[in-house]
Amino acid sequence: MDKRVYLLTIISFVVGMVELIIGGILDLVANDLNVSLGKAGLLITIFSLVFAISAPILLIATAKIERKQLTLIALLIFLIGNLIAVFSPIYSMLFIGRIISAASGSLLIILCLTIAANIGDDKYRGRAIGIVSMGVSGSLVLGVPIGLVLGNMFGWRAPFVFIVLLSLLSMIGVYYFMEKVEPKPQVSLKKQIHSLKESKILLGHATTFLYMAGHTILYAYLTPFVKDTMHLGGNWLSIIYLIFGIAAVSGGGIGGAFSDQFGSKKTIISTLVIFALSLLTIPFTTSIFAVFLVVMIVWGMMSWAITPALQSYLIESAPETSDIQQSLNNSALHFGIAFGSLVGGIVIEQASVQQNAAIGGIFVILSLGTILVSMTKSQKRSYA
């Protein structure tokens, strides 16, 4: 396989890490900029929202630009967005920096996936896309512990300095090691939206939105949850996030293997049931740290075990528009992160962080309902 795929994986990891890297240091940001935890949480919400909306639009708007050149331009804008975050003296400037890095980052992720599919031998295409996708999923779960460690050691701006340095290295790597890649015709936004007319497909994407929202309602505020319920901080928080990250990344591999062996539908349903139970149970485990860790590991594994199975389900349901569905499902995932962080912030402001797990569990139960209805429609169509 072409070794340049690993460079694209690094870029996708760096970009994905920025989305949730602020989750572990929300309290540091809130204290320094004199805002509430809920308002600090909006920095995750706006990033995910802009990311979800801008990805398909920017891909179409830049359809005629050579891909290596476009990647370098997007990396430069991404770097600027994070530099703004580093030097932000007030909340509103940090907010703007998050918008800039989200828009450019969304384009970078899609570019990494499409370039990976077009370099090297065709027989390695699926593996190349899979490796780049692992960079994205890995970053979403490992970004928080990395941000937490750097933030606690050097202040909340340190994680963004780290991202700036990695962005510079990525630009150097792309400039010297990537060859020119000519653009391919893009599917219009109208055609992408038109593919959602089938209710079973729309419900499939709704499932992604709901379960990711449920997950983020607690995960985005896990730091205040742990501090409030178990009075832990510093090194223990870093350990908790690291364990969660390892569980989540391994969950993606386990979910893919189970989907291949038992089928996507059985894997989706069983995963969502266990996912909901772990979220609803976790507030009752905080008095016994070992039990809390076990339930948290299950939660972490389930949070990403569903992704490969759900993607397989969408491909099986709409093979003629499978590429479009993967793009739209990625947007649904980030809309879920945005909505979940928003709802989680509201729960903290109006009730307490201890309620976040229960609200998150309810959203996961709703996602189980949408996928069951989608599967029912799929079966009806097959018998028609």
Residue range 266-279, pLDDT digits in tens? 999 999 999 999 99
Q: Give the other-Cβ count within 10 Å of 357's Cβ.
A: 26
Distance between CA atoms of 176 and 166, rounded to whole angstroms? Answer: 16
Q: What is the pLDDT along the chain (384 residues), one digit of tens a residue?
A: 677 888 998 998 998 888 878 887 888 999 999 999 889 989 989 998 999 888 878 888 888 899 899 999 999 999 999 999 999 999 999 999 999 999 999 999 888 877 886 776 666 665 676 677 777 777 767 777 888 888 889 999 999 999 999 999 999 999 998 888 887 766 666 776 676 778 889 999 999 999 999 999 999 899 899 999 999 877 788 889 889 988 887 887 788 788 888 888 999 999 999 999 999 999 999 999 999 999 999 999 998 888 878 878 887 887 766 667 777 888 898 899 989 999 999 999 898 899 999 999 999 999 999 999 999 975 555 434
SS3 for 63?
Answer: coil
Kindly report the backbone phi and psi dihedral angles of residue 234, in degrees, each rounded to the nearest multiple of 5, phi listed first: 55, -120
Give yes or no for a contact between 245 and 149, defined as CB atoms under 8 angstroms apart. no
The one-letter amino acid at 15: V
Domain 1-186 and domain 188-384, same fold? Reply is yes
SS3 for 286?
Answer: coil
Write down the pLDDT at residue 276. Answer: 97
Distance between CA atoms of 64 and 344, rounded to whole angstroms? Answer: 40
Domain ranges in the chain are 1-186, 188-384
Two structure tokens written together for 281: 């149970």
Distance between CA atoms of 211 and 353, rounded to whole angstroms? Answer: 19
Which of 220, 165, 256, 168 has the alpha carbon at shortest distance from 26? Answer: 220
The number of residues making up the chain comes to: 384
Give yes or no for a contact between 38 and 23, defined as CB atoms under 8 angstroms apart. no
Token pair 């396989």 is at which residue? Answer: 1
Kindly report the backbone phi and psi dihedral angles of residue 320, in degrees, each rounded to the nearest multiple of 5, phi listed first: -75, -20
Token pair 């809390």 is at which residue? Answer: 292
Which of 299, 327, 332 has the alpha carbon at shortest distance from 207? Answer: 332
Two structure tokens written together for 329: 């499902």
Two structure tokens written together for 121: 């031998």
Write down the pLDDT at residue 126. Answer: 57
Dmax over Cα atoms in the chain, in whole Å? 62
CATH class of 188-384: mainly alpha
Q: What is the CATH number of domain 1-186?
A: 1.20.1250.20
Q: Give the other-Cβ count within 10 Å of 74's Cβ.
A: 26
Distance between CA atoms of 103 and 58, rounded to whole angstroms? Answer: 8
Q: Residue 180 burial by CB count (10 A; 0-12/13-18/19+): exposed, middle or buried?
A: exposed
The one-letter amino acid at 140: L
E-state strands within the chain? none
